Amino acid sequence: MKLRLPQASVLGCLFFFLCAGIVYGLFSSRLPAIKAQTQADEAQIGLALLSLGVGSVIGFIGASPLLRLIQSRTMLKAISAALLLVLMLIGFSFSIAMLYAACFLFGFCTALFDVCMNTQAILLEIKTRHAYMSVMHAFYSVGCLSGSSIGALFASLDITVYINYALSVIALFFFWHFASSHLHDDIQAASHEKKKYKIPPFIIFCGLMALCAFISEGSVAEWGGIFLHTVKGADEGVSALSFGVFSALMASARLFGDRMREYFGDFPLLFGGTIAASAGMYIVLESPWPTVCLIGYSFMGLGLAPVMPIVLSRAGASGLIPPNDASAIVSLFGYSGLLIVPPTLGFLANNIGLDKALLLPLALCLLLVGGSFAFKAVPKSS
């Protein structure tokens, strides 16, 4: 029996979020094998990741102009296929130069993919009048965990990166055609067409909320394990759980986030969540026991879970600028945080100590608490 359009379009959009997570999980989980395959040292891998970041920034900056010329559904079809092919290119990289180029393309494609899939989620919410952004981001988190698990399995079986990536890409392409055929056309408001406009303050504010959330999340991913090991005295096994418990709670919360938005509203969910995240970060900094710190990180994952879905949804549905532009701007602000946090916290840690450096994400969580009051107003119906 053929699926009705709303159901099929939801499944199609879910696939792209899941796919993005799987691809990133596959890439990050096989980095040690890629390092060995290219005979790169740590500094060269760092430069490869920097080239990925540069590609991402260029992709986010170029997303809005491109999406004024090309429908997001058309762009998503093309860029998702390109990203899968670039993943295979990384798998077949046997030299440092080839890895640098592949990582740059990977970052560029990932940025465009991110903007397009978030635009499609916004359009889905507008056209169905139901909240879906949170569950979409939950599937991204599930995809990251799945991709990492698949990569770990292939690594444990001593299967080469290029075979791992090739088989994974073939499997993802199997579902790609169905998902691509159930995407929505963009909404082009007459007031926005063929006209330059200033970015509205509310969109910038949503971007700053995303920036604070992403820096706080990045502090766990990049520094959580190191902090538990070097400052709290945890063994490597316990330290490695920091981002795991954070991600697991974030994914679980986002699975129910849309239902909670409809029941409680955006402001209570943001306010309560960011209070929980702030409390969690405070526990991490103050508790001398690593296991209690893990509980703090789980509170952070739970509390930060609704931030990005809500700010993207509200920015896209605001009607102030087209949804594709809103998605690009908010994503650019947010992902810039992931580029900023590692060197910033590293610099602070070298000068004042890691425990004091991590006061920065605590301060940003508290700023998110204050920022949640901007979402007390009920959004306009589209």
For residue range 118-160, what is the model confidence (pLDDT) as tens digits? 888 888 888 877 777 778 888 888 888 788 788 878 888 888 9
Q: Collect all residues with Cβ–Cβ distance below 8 Å to 220 and sequence separation of at least 6.
A: 242, 243, 246, 297, 300, 301, 361
In this prediction, residue 81 carries a pLDDT of 94
| Residue 156 three-state SS | helix
Q: What confidence category does residue 192 fall into, taking pLDDT thresholds of 50, 70 and 90?
A: very low
* Model confidence pLDDT, tens digit, residues 193-203: 445 567 889 99
Q: What confidence category does residue 18 fall into, taking pLDDT thresholds of 50, 70 and 90?
A: very high
Q: Is the pLDDT of residue 331 over 90?
A: no
Q: Is the pLDDT of residue 86 over 70?
A: yes
Least confident of 136-150, 266-280, 332-346: 332-346
In this prediction, residue 240 carries a pLDDT of 64
Q: What confidence category does residue 381 fall into, taking pLDDT thresholds of 50, 70 and 90?
A: very low
Domain at 5-182: CATH architecture? Up-down Bundle (1.20)
- Average model confidence (pLDDT) for the chain? 83
Number of other CB atoms surrounding residue 267 within 10 Å: 16
In this prediction, residue 9 carries a pLDDT of 77
For domain 201-375, the question of CATH label 3.30.950.10 is answered with no
Least confident of 55-59, 78-82, 145-149, 251-255: 145-149
Sketch the domain layout of the chain as residue ranges. 5-182, 201-375
Distance of alpha carbon 371 from alpha carbon 249, whole angstroms: 23
In this prediction, residue 19 carries a pLDDT of 93
Within a 13 Å sphere around the CA of 295, how many CA atoms are in the beta-carbon half? 9
Number of other CB atoms surrounding residue 164 within 10 Å: 21
In this prediction, residue 4 carries a pLDDT of 42
In this prediction, residue 190 carries a pLDDT of 44
Q: Is the pLDDT of residue 69 over 60?
A: yes
| Residue 71 three-state SS | coil
Q: Is the pLDDT of residue 186 over 70?
A: no
Distance of alpha carbon 75 from alpha carbon 73, whole angstroms: 5
Residue 55 contacts residue 103 (beta carbons within 8 Å)? yes
Q: Collect all residues with Cβ–Cβ distance below 8 Å to 87 and sequence separation of at least 6.
A: 23, 26, 27, 106, 165, 168, 169
Torsions phi, psi of 271, nearest 5? -65, -50
Q: Across residues 226-240, what is the average pLDDT?
A: 76
Q: Collect all residues with Cβ–Cβ distance below 8 Å to 241 and sequence separation of at least 6.
A: 294
Specify the higher pLDDT residue, 50 or 118.
118
Instruction: Record the pTM.
Output: 0.73
Q: Collect all residues with Cβ–Cβ distance below 8 Å to 43 and sequence separation of at least 6.
A: none
Specify the higher pLDDT residue, 95 or 341.
95
* Residue 144: closest CA among 24, 248, 298, 17: 24
Q: Is the pLDDT of residue 2 over 50?
A: no
In this prediction, residue 154 carries a pLDDT of 86
Q: What confidence category does residue 42 fall into, taking pLDDT thresholds of 50, 70 and 90?
A: low
Residue 79 contacts residue 112 (beta carbons within 8 Å)? yes
Least confident of 123-132, 251-260, 342-351: 342-351
- The sign of the torsion formed by the CA atoms of 107, 110, 116, 117 equals negative
Specify the higher pLDDT residue, 20 or 380.
20
Q: Is the pLDDT of residue 90 over 60?
A: yes
| Residue 32 three-state SS | helix
Question: Which whole-number Å values give the CA distances from 37 to 22, 28, 41, 97, 334, in the listed order?
Answer: 21, 15, 11, 13, 32
Q: What confidence category does residue 226 fall into, taking pLDDT thresholds of 50, 70 and 90?
A: confident
Q: Is the pLDDT of residue 364 over 90?
A: yes
Domain 5-182 and domain 201-375, same fold? Reply is yes
Quick one: how far is CA 214 from the chain centroid? 8
